Chain A
Amino acid sequence: MKASEAIVKCLINENVDTVFGYPGGHILEVYEALRKSKVNHVLVRQEQAAAHCANGYARVSGKVGVCIATSGPGATNLITGIATAYMDSIPLVAITGQVNSMKIGRDMFQEADITGATESFTKHSYLVKNENDLPRIIKEAFYIASTGRPGPVLIDIPSDIQAAKIKKLAIPETVNIRGYKPTTKGHIGQVKRAIKAISESKRPLIIAGGGVILSHAQNELLQFVEKTGIPLVHTLMGKGSLPTLNRHYFGMIGNHGFSGANRAVSKADLLIIIGTRVADRTWGGVSDKISEGMRIIHIDVDPAEIGKNVGTHIPLVGDAKTILTQMIDRIEKINTDEWLSELNSDKRAAGKRATDLVNPRHAIETISKKLNDDAVIVADVGQNQIWAARYFEDKIDRRFLTSGGLGTMGYGLPAAIGAKIAAPKRQVLAVVGDGGFQMSLQELGTISHKKLGIIILLFNNSRLGMVRELQERFYGKVNAVELDKNPDFIKLCDAYKIKGIRVTTDSELEDAFDKAIRHKGPFLVECVVDPNESTLI
């Protein structure tokens, strides 16, 4: 058997039915083996999109996303997508072609040291030197990518290794890596300490992060919150961890979160941080000093996150779902009525800014009401992301995807492709700005080609709106943010045979969204937004 066929067999053995990729000279063998297999290959229009597609696919399917690229520029184009997945802990396996193993290091045509280049943002990587190692390496790669704190793993395979013969394909059934034994279950002594601290607290508050979503712990978190009565705020990546309408829900914290939610953090006497590193953008929003004597319980599957950005009194290393389950059985209701009513009275309703054009908040709220209870929303990066994060209603089966850690513009459209392919029956909404949209425009080709029924909600303010906001705040002047020569996006979509409507006032939104939802196939709703619109509306 050819090694390339073994690679595909190993992928199928890992339950892979869809891969995203772009072929090239040093990955030809793998593509020939893919052609002969049942694996569905989605051809993207640029490799970075393959990694973002695999990211969206992984987050919606719960499986490991797979992307494939050739050596050299194919591999280097993947880098931003791999780094995006790394920062958000998304399980990905990236397979790259490499030049002939005997010629590595001679600066061959399309040679790039991709394991070296991605070293700082892959969870692990392999440069395959012997074809007989492939079954073990692929098995390990999927295991490493999906267990513990998930993340991207890269497998770089030289062309001669792909073409080599393997005598007998023996896929190992188990993985044993002596340097990698992630902890999932919480230390029972620490669980008891945490429960004691919770029972003694008067003003406990949960900060839920992306780890809750990654470990599929939404139901456990809901149970925990309902049983204890503890209020919850969340990070950008933790959006969707608790339904918006739950009475314990107090919104998103952080620089772009709600001030009431940020104030809640500073007023609490006990923080229960679950599955978040509490990065600068999260903690930066908590402007008031945290209360004296506040205690912190930090639950995270990655021990290195505990104590990194915030001090911790009770560390609890393990998987969010497992630990919440351990705690639910042992914990009792605490009296939080007074604390909840205090938080409720601090929830100030933000007023909507009057505009002759489309109010982005109104647009998000309107489509949120219309979409199904299991819809997937993918937000790009920038103002559109913040509007979506603040005003899209979370339900237990909905999913919110965005590039929270790396903040990669251009993520939205390809991630929505991956999401739609993972769940063809679910509604997928891509929220993008005119800046980020143009970073991935080429993927309209993929959407059109695969006839993917994605709704694209484009906020067009002919600006890089977030940068404009920052420049005005810090310098009082703007530079290099005007996109006044934007193309006609409706015509552009038309060229890709994608239908679209341009909406210029709030009153047209209902009708436009109804059309978009009814339409079978991709649909663009372009909302013209005031260039001076702010994220904190």
Chain B
Amino acid sequence: MNRHVLSVLVENQSGVLSRVSGLFSRRGYNIDSLSVGETEDPKVSRMTIVVRGDDYILEQIKKQLNKLIDVIKIVEVNPQQSVFRELAMIKVNTTMETRASVIEIVSIFRANIVDVSSETLTVEMTGDESKIEAFINLMNNYGIAEVVRTGLAAIERGSKQIKNQKVNEEE
């Protein structure tokens, strides 16, 4: 089961997210993560969907998504030519004794500390999934109180853009 990252441009209106997520559940496709937000055009939202599946499943996902009227364009993002980022906020249990070593790891990962309390330390970090996983694994030694992750966002390198117009093959 390969992992694929899809960038999906959709109309920015209510009901679209439900249509997209409903499609995945009713056709039995698995979503690893889904993130969505407005684009440079306020009428268009961009979803980054991480899915798992073989070639057949991926092909079906793309075709079925394309059938949704609100879906404008779907591009499978090539990991070699793209930047993937995810934001995570991790609340770590700390004591007087452990705080310094947590801060040390935070600095190695180039993450930021955004809040401190007497029992916890909250870390904000961006990165690809492997970086975040690695950090979380290390923090497990101290005890994690909470993790919030946004899911992956993807953008292609270079001047390439995903245009928000569906091209009619006949034209």
- A residues near B63, Cβ cutoff 8 Å: 303-304
Contacts A179-B11, A304-B60; A119 near B170 (Cβ below 8 A): no
Q: Per a CB cutoff under 8 Å, which of A115, A179, A308 touches B68?
A: A179
Whether a CB of chain B sits under 8 angstroms from the CB of A181 is yes
- B residues near A124, Cβ cutoff 8 Å: 69
- B residues near A127, Cβ cutoff 8 Å: 14-15
Chain B 82-97, CB within 8 Å of chain A: the 1/0 string?
0000000000000000
B72 touches A178 (CB 8 A): yes
B168 touches A116 (CB 8 A): no
For the complex, what is the distance from the CA of A119 to the CA of B21, rounded to whole Å? 11
B67 touches A304 (CB 8 A): yes
Whether a CB of chain B sits under 8 angstroms from the CB of A302 is yes
A116 touches B18 (CB 8 A): yes
For the complex, what is the distance from the CA of A116 to the CA of B15, rounded to whole Å? 9
- A residues near B22, Cβ cutoff 8 Å: 119-120
Minimum CB–CB distance from A95 to chain B (whole Å) comes to 17
* Max count, chain A CB within 10 A of own CB: residue among B10, B69, B164: B69
Minimum CB–CB distance from A367 to chain B (whole Å) comes to 40
A180 touches B69 (CB 8 A): yes
A304 touches B66 (CB 8 A): yes
Q: Per a CB cutoff under 8 Å, which of A119, A302, A304 touches B18?
A: A119
Chain B 43-68, CB within 8 Å of chain A: the 1/0 string?
00000000000001001100110111
For the complex, what is the distance from the CA of A213 to the CA of B26, rounded to whole Å? 28
Chain A 93-115, CB within 8 Å of chain B: the 1/0 string?
00000000000000000000001
A187 touches B169 (CB 8 A): yes
- B residues near A424, Cβ cutoff 8 Å: none
B66 touches A123 (CB 8 A): no
A181 touches B69 (CB 8 A): no
A303 touches B19 (CB 8 A): no
Chain A residue at smallest Cβ distance from B62: A304
Tell me the chain A residues, 346-360 only, with Cβ under 8 Å from chain B.
none
For the complex, what is the distance from the CA of A178 to the CA of B166, rounded to whole Å? 6
A119 touches B19 (CB 8 A): yes
Chain B residue at smallest Cβ distance from A123: B69
Whether a CB of chain A sits under 8 angstroms from the CB of B2 is no
Chain A residue at smallest Cβ distance from B67: A304
For the complex, what is the distance from the CA of A15 to the CA of B143, rounded to whole Å? 68
A183 touches B170 (CB 8 A): yes
For the complex, what is the distance from the CA of A127 to the CA of B67, rounded to whole Å? 19
Contacts A184-B170, A304-B60; A178 near B15 (Cβ below 8 A): no
Chain A residue at smallest Cβ distance from B25: A120
Chain B residue at smallest Cβ distance from A304: B63
Whether a CB of chain A sits under 8 angstroms from the CB of B98 is no
Tell me the chain B residues, 118-171 only, with Cβ under 8 Å from chain A.
164-170
B72 touches A179 (CB 8 A): yes
Total contacting residues, chain B, CB less than 8 A = 28
Whether a CB of chain B sits under 8 angstroms from the CB of A54 is no
Whether a CB of chain B sits under 8 angstroms from the CB of A307 is yes
A178 touches B165 (CB 8 A): yes
Whether a CB of chain B sits under 8 angstroms from the CB of A447 is no
Minimum CB–CB distance from A517 to chain B (whole Å) comes to 44
Minimum CB–CB distance from A306 to chain B (whole Å) comes to 8
B68 touches A120 (CB 8 A): no
Chain B residue at smallest Cβ distance from A148: B67
For the complex, what is the distance from the CA of A507 to the CA of B58, rounded to whole Å? 59
Whether a CB of chain B sits under 8 angstroms from the CB of A144 is yes
Chain A residue at smallest Cβ distance from B70: A179
Chain B residue at smallest Cβ distance from A119: B22
Chain B residue at smallest Cβ distance from A187: B169
Minimum CB–CB distance from B55 to chain A (whole Å) comes to 10
- A residues near B72, Cβ cutoff 8 Å: 178-179
For the complex, what is the distance from the CA of A303 to the CA of B169, rounded to whole Å? 12
Minimum CB–CB distance from B170 to chain A (whole Å) comes to 5
Tell me the chain B residues, 1-36 only, with Cβ under 8 Å from chain A.
10-11, 14-15, 18-19, 22, 26
Chain B residue at smallest Cβ distance from A183: B169
Tell me the chain A residues, 426-443 only, with Cβ under 8 Å from chain B.
none
B71 touches A304 (CB 8 A): no
Whether a CB of chain B sits under 8 angstroms from the CB of A185 is yes
For the complex, what is the distance from the CA of A144 to the CA of B22, rounded to whole Å? 20
Minimum CB–CB distance from B66 to chain A (whole Å) comes to 7
Q: Per a CB cutoff under 8 Å, which of A177, A185, A303 touches B170?
A: A185
Chain A residue at smallest Cβ distance from B16: A179
Tell me the chain A residues, 120-178 only, with Cβ under 8 Å from chain B.
120, 123-125, 127, 144, 177-178
A180 touches B169 (CB 8 A): no
Minimum CB–CB distance from B75 to chain A (whole Å) comes to 14
- B residues near A178, Cβ cutoff 8 Å: 72, 164-166
Minimum CB–CB distance from A393 to chain B (whole Å) comes to 36
- B residues near A183, Cβ cutoff 8 Å: 168-170
Tell me the chain A residues, 306-338 only, with Cβ under 8 Å from chain B.
307-308
- B residues near A115, Cβ cutoff 8 Å: 15
What are the 7 tightest A-B residue pairs by CB atom distance, in nearest-first order?
A304-B63, A181-B168, A124-B69, A179-B72, A180-B69, A120-B26, A181-B166
9 additional contacts (CB under 8 A) given A119-B18, A119-B19, A308-B60: A115-B15, A116-B18, A177-B69, A178-B72, A179-B10, A179-B69, A181-B166, A187-B169, A303-B63
Task: Give the A-binding residues of B (Cβ under 8 A).
Answer: 10-11, 14-15, 18-19, 22, 26, 56, 59-60, 63-64, 66-73, 164-170
Q: List 9 A-B contacts (CB under 8 A).
A: A120-B22, A124-B69, A178-B72, A178-B166, A185-B170, A304-B64, A304-B66, A304-B67, A308-B60
